[in-house]
Amino acid sequence: MDEQEKDQKEQTPDTEEQEQPQADQVEKLKETTEKIWGSTKHAWSTATFKANQYKKLVQKKIDLSALHKKINAAHGDLGKLIDDLREAGKKNILNLAEVREILKRIDELKAEAATLEEEVEQIRVEEVPQEPVQEEATEEEKSE
Domain ranges of the chain: 49-89
Residue-wise DSSP of 77-127 = HHHHHHHHHHHTT-S-GGGSHHHHHHHHHHHHHHHHHHHHHHHHHHHHHPP
pLDDT (tens digit, 0 to 9) for every residue of the chain, 144 residues total?
566 665 555 555 555 555 677 888 888 898 999 999 999 999 999 999 999 999 999 999 999 999 999 999 999 999 999 999 999 998 888 899 999 999 999 999 999 999 999 999 999 998 877 765 444 444 444 444
Q: Which of 71, 110, 107, 85 is nearest to 94 (CA)?
A: 85
| Res 135: pLDDT | 46
| Res 143: pLDDT | 47
| Res 78: pLDDT | 94
Query: What are the C-alpha distances in Å from 106 to residues 17, 69, 80, 110, 116?
Result: 83, 11, 15, 6, 15
Helices and strands per DSSP (H, E), number in the chain = 4, 0
| Res 18: pLDDT | 56
CA distance 144 to 140: 7
In this structure, the dihedral spanned by the alpha carbons of residues 64, 70, 71 and 72, taken in order and rounded to 10 degrees, is: 110
CA distance 110 to 1: 101
Neighbours of 71 (CB within 10 A): 17
